[in-house]
Amino acid sequence: MKYDVIIGLEIHAEINTLSKMFCSCKNDPFYSQANFNICPICLGHPGTLPLPNQEAIDKVLLLGLALDCQINKISKFDRKNYFYPDLPKGYQISQFDLPLAYQGVLEINNQKIEITRIHLEEDTGKLNHPAGKNYTLIDFNRSGVPLLELVTEPVIKDAITARIFCQTFQQILKYLEISSANMEKGEMRCEANVSLQIKNSWRRTKDGKIVGLKNIKPNNKVELKNINSFKSLEKAISYEIKRQSKMLDRGEEILPETRGYNEKKGETFRQRVKESGADYRYFPEPDILPIKISSEQLKNLKNKIIELPHKKKARFIEEYGFSPDIADILVDDKNLADWTEMALSELKEWLSSSGESWKNQRIKLSKLLADYLISELFKFLKRDKVSIRDIKISPENFAQLILLIHQEKINSSSAQKILEIMYNTGGDPVVIMNDNNLEQSQSDGKDLKEIISAIIKKYPDQFSEYQSGKDALLQFFIGKVMAETGGRFNPKKIIEIIKNL
């Protein structure tokens, strides 16, 4: 392709404070009764005074610190003036030149994505257009809900990186308990700005603007809005790159427009063309004093920063040898990541106390633990729609079960039985194993040898085929022995005997 792809993101997220941004109404935008959580302040009545929500400010500062942002020691709110029916004041209280946080970074796939700013503002009401009716309804439960906005520099070069940035950002919001950030519910909204420039025809100025070299006018960017899933975001950007490159190839001009995404057709479509930059006539909000942020406050917030999901993923890969895919699954939910790590550390202790070296076996054991977690325990969690936080199995007991498998005291079918009992009633896997006679026979193999000899006699043709090199038949014999013995014996022992015979 003869073009450079340039993508910048603007992401909004509703903050999960108890009350709204500038009044004491409950922050519950999805409350079933419309216009229930409202008051004169969030309805924008003249003469009312907004009072900023400390919890919302702290949460944005925490996010800023976690993303290595600079913090404005003096910050302020500004009025962004525009008319829309869901905005009764005629302006939105937002932040213009002194956002709470600026100049941060989030690393995605070894690529440092620069964050321009994170600021705080208020959400609007919600318009409902009942199907087939000639009127629109307004619900102000969402009006005045604290909303944060993160803006990135135009430094993203492909649709996949843009998607992963949004997903990682969502995980971070959840980890830090700032927002539930559900895209379908509109708690998190991602907009992508996309433009294509001819290679070597442009540069980025110090303040992040894209300008053309040698009097070349850079191509306009298109803003993709109202996209309600990560997958759609990626697809919309990919579609847009193709659309713009075809147009540019034909010598057509890209209009500076806002486009939506039609999931069924897999196409973006025009919503409106920006005539010129909207003039919001920002000015300082006269009813709220500037905010002074003390180093004391920042120090306290820094102590609240926990390990972020993308860093945890890197550590999980490094420390336990997990594959990136497994690490992704494990860190996605913080409760799951914590639970897994507790189980791993118990496993390490159990192993050391039985005289084995953790260091040599950690990768194998971590994999065994993750396999049982993801392919066995997850079945129950999915079936019953429960979180790992609420199950009866303790990480310690789960680790013990993994140790029993590792030490070949139980085979996999017994392990599954024990796991199911643990899931239903809780308890110690060793006790369950003994109560149910599930321990694998540790005999010297004498009776097993007789059983195997008998089976071989029963299937002489298969056995001679196996002997003449048809290795696949080994599985046939293992199966027969397992069936005959009800899975009591260790498969390794069975293989050893068959091979000897």
In the complex with ligand ADP, which residue's Cβ is closer, 9 or 145? Answer: 9
Count of residues that bind Zn ion according to CB under 5 A: 5
Q: Does 195 bind ligand ADP (CB under 6 A)?
A: yes
Q: How far apart are the first and last CA of the chain?
A: 64
Return the one option of Zn ion, ligand ADP, none that residue 39 interacts with (CB less than 5 to 8 A, by type).
Zn ion
Total of chain residues touching ligand ADP, rule CB under 6 A: 15
Sheet with strand 70-71: strands edge to edge: 70-71, 101-108, 111-122, 146-152, 3-14, 188-198, 222-227, 257-262, 267-273
DSSP 8-state assignment for residue 298: H
Nearest Cα to 149, choosing from 195, 189, 104? 189
Contact with ligand ADP (CB under 6 A) among 34, 43, 198, 210: 210
Q: Which of 282, 14, 50 is nearest to 148 (CA)?
A: 14
Residue selected from 104, 154, 309, 487 as contacting ligand ADP according to rule CB under 6 A: 154
Binding segment for ligand ADP (CB under 6 A), chosen from 7-15, 62-70, 303-311, 473-481, is 7-15
Interface mask (CB under 5 A) for Zn ion, residues 6-45, using x and -? -----------------x-x-------------x-xx---
Determine the Cα–Cα distance for residues 329 and 171; give it in Å rounded to an integer.
Answer: 12
Q: Least distance to Zn ion from the beta carbon of 196, Å?
A: 44
Interacting partner of 150 out of Zn ion, ligand ADP, none (Cβ under 5 to 8 A depending on kind): none
Residue whose CB is less far from ligand ADP, 12 or 367: 12
d(CA 444, CA 158): 61
Nearer to Zn ion, 139 or 191 (CB): 139
Question: Which residue lies nearer to Zn ion by CB, 120 or 227?
Answer: 120
Q: Which of 4, 10, 396, 420 binds ligand ADP (CB under 6 A)?
A: 10
* Binding partner of 173, given Zn ion, ligand ADP, none, CB within 5-8 angstroms per partner class: none
According to the binding rule CB under 6 A, does residue 6 interact with ligand ADP? Answer: yes
* Closest CB to Zn ion among residues 41, 403: 41
> Can you give the length of the chain in residues?
501
Distance between CA atoms of 454 and 28, rounded to whole angstroms? 71
CB of 70 to ligand ADP, least distance (A): 18
Q: Measured from the CB of residue 171, what is the shortest distance to ligand ADP in angstroms? A: 20
Binds ligand ADP (CB under 6 A): choice among 17, 141, 143, 193 = 193
Which tokens in the block code for residue 475? 């599985």
| Residue (282 or 378) nearer to ligand ADP, CB | 282
Nearest to 89 by CA among 35, 144, 52: 144
Is residue 152 within 8 Å of residue 114, measured between CB atoms?
A: yes
Residues between 34 and 93 with contacts to Zn ion, criterion CB under 5 A: 39, 41-42
Q: How far is the CB of 5 from ligand ADP (least distance, A)?
A: 9
Our CB check for Zn ion shows the closer of 45 and 217 to be 45
Q: State the Cα–Cα distance between residues 23 and 15, nearest whole angstrom.
A: 14
Amino acid, single-letter form, for residue 269: F
Pair of tokens at residue 344: 């791993």
Contact 335, 387 (CB under 8 A): yes
If the CB atoms of residues 281 and 311 are measured against ligand ADP, the closer one turns out to be 281
Q: Is 153 in the site for ligand ADP (CB under 6 A)?
A: yes
Phi, psi values for residue 116, rounded to 5°: -70, -50
What single string gives the DSSP state of each residue in 27-81? --TT-SSTT-S--TTTTT-TT------HHHHHHHHHHHHHTT-EE-SEE--EEEE
Hey, which residues between 245 and 304 contact ligand ADP (CB under 6 A)? 277
487's contact among ligand ADP, Zn ion, none, with CB below 5 to 8 A by partner kind, is none
Q: Whole-angstrom Cα distance, residue 450 to residue 452?
A: 5
Residue 114's closest CA among 166, 172, 156?
Answer: 156
Q: Where are the alpha helices (H) located in 67-196, listed in sequence order?
A: 159-175
* Contact flag: residue 192 with Zn ion (CB under 5 A): no
The interface partner of residue 154, options being Zn ion, ligand ADP, none and the CB cut-off 5 to 8 Å by kind, is: ligand ADP
Interaction site with Zn ion (CB under 5 A): 23, 25, 39, 41-42
Residues near ligand ADP, by CB under 6 A: 6-10, 151-154, 193-195, 210, 221, 277
